[in-house]
Amino acid sequence: MEKRNSAHINAQKAARIRDNNLCQICGSRDHTAGHHAVDYQYGGSSSLDNIVTLCRGCHRRVHKGEMDVYSV
């Protein structure tokens, strides 16, 4: 797994600011983090337009394949 660089960390912080620290699926403010809409392994970048803010629960469900962020 690629180590996160400062551009990656800054883009995640910027996404949380843009999204008002709200999960873009359920609206929760609890334990939010940036999620890559298109993952690195599929050619996704760390640019702001590829990162969406998700709470821990929704982030977990997205990674399990139970929901997606493409309609957000």
Beta bridge partners of 53: 34
Alpha carbon of residue 35 to chain centroid: 2
Contacts of 72 (CB under 8 A, 6+ apart): 24, 25, 52
Count of residues making up the chain:
72
pLDDT tens by residue, the chain, 72 residues: 455 678 888 999 999 999 999 999 999 999 999 999 998 788 888 899 999 999 999 999 999 999 988 765
Task: Tell me the C-alpha distance between 41 and 21, whole Å.
Answer: 26
pLDDT at res. 1: 46
DSSP-assigned letter for residue 2 = P
Q: Which of 1, 2, 30 lies closest to 16 in space, CA to CA?
A: 30
